Amino acid sequence: MAMAREHGQEQPYAGGILKIRIPFVHYRLEYQDFIQGAILSCVPLGITAAMVKFLGIPIEVAVLMVVINNFFYLLHTSFGDPSISGWITAGIPLYIAHLTGFEMGPDRIKALIALQLLVGLIFLVMGATGITKAVIKRFPISMRSGILLGAGFASLMRVFDPAEPFIGKMPIAFLIASLASFFILFSIRALEYRKRFGWFAWIAGFGIAPGFVLGYIVGLITGEIDPPVGVFDRLVIELPFGEMLGSFSAIGVGMPSLSHWVAGISLAIVAYVLAFGDILVLEAMIQDASAARKDEHVPFQVSRNHLITAFRNIFEGITLPFLPLCGPQWTGGQALVVNRYKHATPDQEPSYWGGATSIFWGMSLGMVFHPLVQIILPAKMIGFGLTLLIQGYLCIYIAFAMCETNVQRGIAGVMGAVLVSANYVKLWGSPFWSGPTLALIIGTILYFSLEHYTKEEKEEMTDEKKAVRQILIGKKRVPSEGEEKKKDE
């Protein structure tokens, strides 16, 4: 039985400033989120193909790296950061292009070590100094909304692209899984059913799991999904720790040279710019969850998120250099956890931290259990596609809800489009001048051109609004023409 809290307060924790939360002591494990995590356990394994191809890492070692990285996600929710963390995903093509400029073998591994350590140092400096916190505090609503829109557009464009494996390879199974999931998660009628029928509320509590299972069954029937194989080959995956540390870490191959460090500086900055957008999305989603659940205060501190992300990058950079790098948030997973928490009562889900941590307990333990991975593996793209769909839906509706004026909506729309479309072109052949950078620049120009007012201009506008309000409520009535004539006579 987890510790109780007063209404509207933060969930109890131990460890003082570290805010340590322990399962069954400070939160209960939410089996619905655990199952959602277990279903998605095979999705992170998709990066192993690139690790084998571009880094020369054996598949067993690559899988072990993914598993260890997943367990490190628990650092965030166990130490007071509400982030459902993940990779810096948008930069993966850029990291691969950078690494292919080095010779396959220890030289390429050292280049990745340097890149990941540089990213970790940037997060450390930005978090320790509070620079990012100050920037986010002053970041305009229109530009926040633009980043959210861009993230939403990017997710949905990927899902509905016929070249991608979602609609392209399993149209019937994926569309049925999507419709079922969207009905359960977002339908107004479904919200009414949750209140009226206990059995439906129980099913809806599993999030994407019912839609995933339905899509999997349909896919097996239509032949769009192959039956699982090798389910009982072994119980637990192989764990080649010695080979990983001896051949693919700084402990075994040595630290990078000066040339590796210099070559990675600009790309490390690009990676942080990409991650900056994830931080804004994270903050918006936590605010959305807090608005829906007044019974619990869920604080988000940028510095805490940065310091934990810095530790993950620095530790992994030395012991298991990880191709996608370590990012501050996984928007798809964040959307799943936030959505279930928002629509649950305090009895159904007492604390945000239970669901936020359970999804990674389920995912991390699921990846170690070989039979489960083999069963889910054939339908992994359904699970991945559903997270993209939900991510796109939530990002877009939160973005629209944030904007208060048409000017803000216009700036957000343009910025979101730039964020997506500019990823296809890199100005001057540099990865720095791609979507995220151009979106921030264009958004800044539009904000200062169309929306920004000086302090004096704001005061003048405030005075005008006060005068209009006084006229409307009759405190300062404007005399009519007849009254003016009578007064003159």
pLDDT tens column, 82-140: 999 999 887 787 788 889 889 999 999 999 999 999 999 999 999 999 888 888 888 88
Domain termination residue (choose one: 373, 405, 437) = 405
Confidence (pLDDT) at 356:
94
| Same-domain status, 393 and 464 | no
Across 218-227, 303-312, 453-462, least confident range: 453-462
- My answer on whether 483 and 374 are in the same domain is no
Q: How confident is the model at residue 72 (pLDDT cuts 50, 70, 90)?
A: very high
224, 170 Cβ separation under 8 angstroms: yes
Q: What is the structure's pLDDT at 402?
A: 85
Does residue 50 sit within a domain? yes
Classify 344 as helix, strand or coil. coil
Residue 71 has pLDDT above 80, yes or no: yes
Are 347 and 458 in the same domain? no
DSSP 226: P
Which of these three, 405, 433, 467, is where a domain ends? 405
Please tell me the predicted confidence (pLDDT) of residue 395.
84
Residues 89 and 157 in one domain: yes
The answer to whether residue 439 is domain-embedded is: no
Instruction: Please give the Cα distance from 40 to 380 (Å, whole number).
Output: 7
- Beta-carbon contacts of 377 under 8 Å, excluding residues fewer than 6 positions away, are 42, 45, 228
Helices 302-319 and 258-292 pack at an angle, to 10 degrees, of 140
What is the residue whose two structure tokens read 């392209």?
A: 168
Mean pLDDT for all residues in the chain: 86
d(CA 306, CA 314) in angstroms, rounded, equals: 12
pLDDT band at 196 (very low <50, low <70, confident <90, very high): confident
What is the percent of the chain where pLDDT is above 90? 41
Residue 324: per-residue pLDDT: 92
Note the pLDDT of residue 84. Answer: 94
Tracing tokens 């999305």 back to the chain, one arrives at 281
Question: Taking a C-beta distance cutoff of 8 angstroms, is the pair 123, 317 a contact?
Answer: no
Considering the domain architecture, whether residues 140 and 262 belong to the same structural domain is answered as yes
Is 208 in contact with 39 (CB distance < 8 Å)?
yes
Domain of 467 in residue numbering reads as 453-489
User: Which neighbouring-strand residues pair with 296?
Assistant: 9
483 lies in the same domain as 396: no
- For the segment 417-466, what is each residue's pLDDT rounded down to a tens digit? 888 875 555 666 665 566 677 888 899 999 999 888 756 666 665 666 65
Residue pair 180/5 in contact by the 8 Å Cβ criterion: no
Give the pLDDT of residue 69.
95
Say whether both 401 and 457 belong to one domain.
no
Could you tell me if residue 61 is inside a domain?
A: yes
Lowest mean pLDDT among 90-104, 161-175, 350-364, 365-379: 90-104
Residue 394's pLDDT is: 84
pLDDT given for residue 364 in this prediction: 92
Is residue 72 classed exposed, middle or buried when 0-12, 13-18 and 19+ CB atoms within 10 A define those classes? buried
Number of compact structural domains in the chain:
2
* Claim to verify: residue 242 and residue 367 sit in the same structural domain: yes
481 shares its domain with 383: no
Q: What is the pTM of this model?
A: 0.79
Does residue 108 fall inside a structural domain?
A: yes
User: In whole angstroms, how far apart are CA 73 and each of 66, 122, 309?
Assistant: 11, 19, 9
My answer on whether 375 and 460 are in the same domain is: no
**Average of per-residue pLDDT across 347-371:** 92
Residue where a domain terminates, one of 405, 438, 468: 405
Instruction: Report d(CA 93, CA 47) in Å as an integer.
Output: 12
In a domain, residue 313? The reply is yes
**Could you tell me if residue 479 is inside a domain?**
yes
Number of helices followed by number of strands (H, E) in the chain? 24, 0
- Cα–Cα dist 54/169, whole Å: 26
Reported as a single tens digit per residue, the pLDDT across 25-62 is 888 999 999 999 998 888 888 888 889 989 999 999 99
Phi, psi of 375 (to 5 degrees): -70, -40
Q: Do 274 and 355 have their domain in common?
A: yes
Q: What is the DSSP string of 163-224?
A: TSTTTTT-HHHHHHHHHHHHHHHH-HHHHHHHHH-HHHHHHHTTTTHHHHHHHHHHHHHHTS
Rounded Cα distance, 316 and 331, in Å: 22
SS3 279: helix
**Distance, CA of 12 to CA of 442 (rounded, Å):** 43
Task: Compare 91 and 248 and report the one with higher pLDDT.
Answer: 248
Does a structural domain hold residue 431? no
**φ, ψ for residue 318, nearest 5 deg:** -85, -40
Model confidence at 190: pLDDT above 70: yes
Name the residue with higher pLDDT: 285 or 195: 285
Which residues face 14 on adjacent strands? 20
Residue-level pLDDT at 432: 59
* DSSP per-residue string spanning 345-369: -TTT---HHHHHHHHHHHHHHHHHB
Q: Over 90: is that where the pLDDT of 314 sits?
A: yes
Q: Looking at the structure, do residues 337 and 476 belong to the same domain, yes or no?
A: no
Highest-pLDDT range among 9-23, 245-259, 264-278: 245-259
User: Does some domain include residue 376?
Assistant: yes
Q: What is the spatial distance between Cα 355 and Cα 360, in angstroms, rounded to a whole number?
A: 9
According to DSSP H, which parts of 205-351 are helical? 209-222, 241-247, 250-253, 258-292, 302-319, 331-342
| Three-state DSSP class for residue 399 | helix
Mean pLDDT of 281-309: 92
